[in-house]
Structure 1
Amino acid sequence: MNAAQREEFFRRLAEINPKPVTELNYSSPFELLVAVTLSAQSTDVGVNKATDRLFKVANTPEAILALGEEGLKQHIRTLGLFNSKAKNIIAACQMLIEKHGGQVPETRAELEALPGVGRKTANVVLNTAFGQATMAVDTHIFRVSNRTGLAPGKTPLAVERALLKRVPEAYLLDAHHWLILHGRYTCRARNPKCAECPVVDLCRWRQKKKYLAQAEPPSP
């Protein structure tokens, strides 16, 4: 896409959803950090069910640390990889208390130093909790960026850098959420809803004609 097309791409997504938000439930930066950590290989719906139980009992580093690893597992055992997630969250809580006064840090380097926190998780927290213009490239954003021609790249980091360079500045803060939601509900991995896509005319995906044709009503 050229600059004018990218501008129009995000203008339309913003018109449909002016104030996009994460579908993870949270009420503090720490709750968001835990929720995003738990979301690996799990759905947002599943994570929200687990955190709804967990956060009623413990929603601070101190409280979760008091639960202990085994106690934490009881609240998140419905999620994939819950053993390793519990271990990392407990270790992260210990580090938050010892090095950050129990507060979630606002820099990428400090976030990525926490056990279980990679670049994507750090970007989500920086963007959603602290309002920084970062781009957390998950499978949805990676697919949409490559499929549409918005910001092609062979790796998540390459796509992240391309998006930060190409997304119009006025839309950069919320672009992360627009792209995730677009990939989750419209530009799906299987059976994308091209006929319902608000940016289909801007999309460079060669296979879109196939899905548009499938949505056309049969001839009388």
Structure 2
Amino acid sequence: MSSYSEIDPIPYIDHTVLDPTAGSDRIDQACDEADRYGFKSVCIYPCYVARAVERLHKKKPRVCTVIGFPSGGNTAATKLYEAQEAMELGAQELDVVINLSLLKSGQTDAMHREIAQICEATDLPVKAILEMGLLTVPEQQLAAEVCLDAGVAFLKTSTGWAGGATVEQVRLLKAIAGNRVGIKASGGIRSLAQAIALIEAGATRLGTSRGVDIIAEMKAGKGNS
């Protein structure tokens, strides 16, 4: 395990607020925290994209939103519209939940079309959420390959609603993708040690609502060193 001095996880973090009860004040707080601490982005529901875009105008953190969240079971047309609307509102990245039922029933052509349409229509970085905790290892591999072929910019482990990211999952995605796309680990990332382990395994982004806690842990560690 590397020490905090060797890996700084902060620039990897997508500062996430996907609590369905979170109000506009929490979104504003998350945007301000992302700017203050240097997080890569804020990841929020589509209804708050315009607010976050305004709050982060001319600031470094990007605005990311979720599409088809959390089940991925919307129709392809609905997900495409949601993605296009998010783009028009100013979203800079899209975390799109794949249709697990299509994958599990062998309809990978339909799954591919759905993701590829979003990639082509928005021309934004798309992070395909695979929900790996609900898939067998062969299904994880197949989902990753289909999404890579569809043109995604990242493979993402999970929504966090059906299990969190593991080092093993990140290693598998890294082995499949190589350096072709980024790897986003998401769900259950609550500590500095977890963050560093996932980065060492190959994660290039971390989706977590605990970024501020991780910073506090880093500062405490430096103070005790």
Kindly indicate which of the two structures has a greater share of residues assigned to helix: 1
Q: Considering only CA atoms, is the larger Rg found in Structure 1 or Structure 2? A: 1
TM > 0.5: no
Kindly indicate which of the two structures has a greater share of residues assigned to strand: 2
TM range (shorter): 0.3 to 0.5
State the TM-score, normalized to the length of structure 1: 0.33
State the TM-score, normalized to the length of structure 2: 0.33
